[in-house]
Chains A and B, each alone.
Chain A
């Protein structure tokens, strides 16, 4: 059945508000999208902006695979509506490396093999990023706490801790002037 005919026949379902324009600032670029208000930030990134690095694993804020930074704070993008993010600075895994140059966190993840299948890795890296941006010299316990919202079913946690520690040292070397921002970047 051709779709035009389907549309003519269709009458009896109300689907809520239609698409609205939203401007998102992602990885330093501005994008204007037409999306339904119910679209999550994660779906907007994946479906509308073709940034598939952030993953949907649970879609319910239980696993952390969709973690991105919103104004520097780690958030679950599956629990955030895209329309709420207008005017915020969004950083995703795609915005971390400069071309072929990996961010020190990414490099540490490769060197320490802080993953197995890699499906949770984007979220893990963004959580480390949020932590180190606010706490450049975290204790092992602070690292564990900061990573406790990111599930890794392959169990790469020990190497994730090593990578975070190594990346912290690299960050301190790279930007020694950076001051401790106070609150740690725990995923909430």
Chain B
């Protein structure tokens, strides 16, 4: 039975309460020592065959009879008003079937363009080449308006000061206070302060954003490369004023998201409008350049951080003023302040977060949004503090270890960060490391470490259906999607576990609003922890119903039945009554549907993930090249459902973290407001040659107070500590503290030239 409950939820660094619909009572959680047959063991992807043969159909690969291809005309200026637009030449171009602009669809096309890349018009044509040709025939007269592409002018004399920021988005900064910050600094024996900068990083998921739209009367079907089919459905329903049952959204396979596909966008609406006008299906996939102009990015920040501490390293004050350039879409800065609040135990904390509107592409969520940006200054300055106090970096972190959640005082459902430190230190040889650097050597070595906290506990609403077929096989129907992490396989494992079936007897259907019940977006490291317990409950429900029927067949109460390795036993008997397969054959044709829903989160407990990473780097002082030689990652994320997939996620996050630390940066020309590197050549992503030896492991300890499966999220946590661990290792190697990311070769060479051989900081 469905019922309404209240549950608290931690979503990407912000905790709030909301009402959610759940089903019945939840089954008891798997205990920490539960003997599980399928869960917790490495299983290759159940859809691996499709992914290695080219058979997996991504949105980009959808082809429908008569399908047209769309292109979009975008603003070449960071701020402009459309004075006049003439689409007639494009409209008359042979093969063009539909054109939309502010002339006929004023609801989505604005006359004032807020960034270079803002939508001006779109068209659909018989093929991609014609669409591209025709888009160039559109004639637009722009009135160029003054623009602001940069948050830097908001700085007062080069420094970020309290309450003097101009033009924050909502007029007020987001302020958090704990204890008394003045008192904290008065109590301090030592105070350190620096202003840090983090760059804009581009997601560059390999499949660009886009959609295929097809109308059947007033029913709309949309394939979209999205992290949330239900979110897209709602967005389209609102735009087209259609009921939910007239809109079907499908995303069976997607080519990466990393947060950028969490939000819906105009691409799906444009595709649907063009399809309606042309009376034919339309595919609108963004080009790589468009992808990098309009679909979001990690917002650049400027963060002034002050730390106060006692001589023994105990933190007395954390004071942050941060300014985030959020671009043009109107959404506020992500939780940059999160790590400052909850990573360490400090009684006096104050943070101010300013969101600054600029005429640049809109920012968006990018893998652990905010926390990645916040962790770099915090973990860097903490190392500087340790250096000043002549304390080992790991010791200062243990000194300020938070045994309870510093923001609420609540107990953690589980926290093993201390074990992460110990194991990571052991693996990399932290205690034995010694400075082998002499100032005349070209190659210098250094070690660095950093810590991580992040939510990832999941929560309602999330639903699952498990269907048993009359041949004994099972199907799991979900309205979730697989962003690429392999959740399909994990859900099959959960169902196999509770149904006592082999993995290959389970098929998982995901990514279709017409087929699966509501599922949350694939974000916030929440999917397994939210949907997993629902799958488990649905499987248990289906099993219970099957046992009732089978019990009826053998004329014994259902609770005396046990189905093991495909055979039906009555509890005390050692010989099976019959194989399940044969039993099922006696039952005739049937379909059993088990239902499951994610239950509420507990109050009074903080469900959080933790981890620590240790980096070993070699810096070439002539070329400025940094080689990350080794990266040890130890994370505490509850039960590990599928070790091979978990290791892959950590390696992937670490590699993205290396890019963020050393090479990745969106570059904007300040004179024109144009992005100079919206491609994969000039925006430097890590390649096969940049990969260090990555040693990933887990404190694999089921968090039984978190949820019914004891697992927490893993997608985002491992990218958080990578860049600061590398920055700390570089500081140890060459004695220079870099205050901005990425730490490029050019910066290293310049810093070495400026400081000579002396230690110092470099902006």
> Could you list which residues of chain A lie within 8 angstroms of chain B, going by C-beta atoms?
1, 3, 6-7, 9-10, 12-13, 15, 36, 38-39, 43, 46-47, 50-60, 62-63, 65, 92-94, 96-97, 102, 106-107, 109-111, 113, 115-122, 125, 144-145, 147-148, 150-161
Contacts and interface: CB of A to CB of B under 8 A. Distances in A.
Contacts of A121: 51-52
A120 B206 contact: yes
A93 B127 contact: no
Interface string B37-52: 0000000110011011
B282 to A, nearest CB: 15
The 10 A-B pairs with the shortest beta carbon distances in the complex, nearest first, are A53-B54, A117-B484, A119-B255, A155-B655, A155-B652, A110-B48, A118-B51, A52-B61, A62-B680, A93-B54
Given A13-B133, A151-B685, A153-B203, 16 more contacts: A43-B129, A47-B127, A53-B53, A60-B288, A60-B681, A62-B680, A92-B54, A106-B53, A110-B52, A117-B255, A117-B483, A120-B206, A153-B656, A154-B484, A155-B653, A161-B688
Identify whether the interface residues of A are mostly helix, strand, loop, or mixed: loop
B30 interface: no
Contacts of B689: 144-145, 148
Contacts of A110: 44-45, 48-49, 51-52
Interface string B248-278: 0000011110100000000000000000000
Given A52-B57, A57-B206, A7 B94 contact: yes
Interface string B620-645: 00000000000000000000000011
A110 B203 CA distance: 25
B688 A153 contact: no
Contacts of A122: 54
A62 B689 CA distance: 15
B679 interface: yes
Contact of B656 (A51, A111, A155): A155
B685 A113 contact: no
A111 B44 contact: yes
A114 B478 CA distance: 25
A93 B91 contact: no
B688 A58 contact: no
A42 to B, nearest CB: 11
B686 to A, nearest CB: 7
Interface in B54-72: 54-58, 60-61, 63
Given A43-B128, A119-B206, A153 B49 contact: no
B63 A52 contact: yes
B52 A151 contact: no
A151 B91 contact: no
A150 B207 CA distance: 14
Contacts of B704: none
A7 to B, nearest CB: 5
20 contacts: A50-B63, A52-B57, A52-B61, A53-B53, A56-B60, A57-B206, A57-B680, A60-B680, A65-B206, A92-B54, A102-B49, A113-B644, A116-B649, A118-B255, A119-B255, A147-B688, A154-B256, A156-B648, A157-B655, A157-B691
B596 interface: no
B654 A155 contact: yes
A57 B270 CA distance: 21
B486 A53 contact: no
Interface in B502-544: none
Interface of B: 44-45, 48-49, 51-58, 60-61, 63, 89, 91-97, 127-129, 133, 137, 203-208, 253-256, 258, 287-288, 483-486, 644-645, 648-649, 651-656, 679-681, 685-689, 691, 694
B137 A13 contact: yes
A150 B94 CA distance: 37
Given A55-B206, A63-B680, A116 B53 contact: no
A1 B53 contact: no
A119 B486 contact: no
Nearest to B483: A117
B687 A13 contact: no
Contacts of A119: 58, 205-207, 255-256
Contacts of B254: 117
A162 to B, nearest CB: 11
Given A55-B255, A120-B206, A10 B691 contact: no
Interface centre among A38, A50, A151 (most CB of B within 10 A): A151
A54 B53 CA distance: 10
Given A55-B206, A118-B51, A39 B652 contact: no
A115 B128 CA distance: 29
B660 to A, nearest CB: 12
B440 to A, nearest CB: 30
A102 B54 contact: no
A113 B647 CA distance: 10
Given A52-B61, A148-B688, A159-B648, A113 B486 contact: yes
Interface centre among B54, B56, B128, B685 (most CB of A within 10 A): B54
A64 to B, nearest CB: 9
A152 to B, nearest CB: 8
Given A63-B680, A153-B256, A113 B654 contact: no
Nearest to B683: A62
B751 to A, nearest CB: 28
Interface centre among B483, B485, B680 (most CB of A within 10 A): B680
Contacts of B93: 6, 10, 13
B54 A94 contact: yes
Nearest to B130: A15
Given A57-B288, A63-B680, A117-B483, A6 B94 contact: yes
Given A51-B54, A117-B484, A148-B687, A15 B133 contact: yes
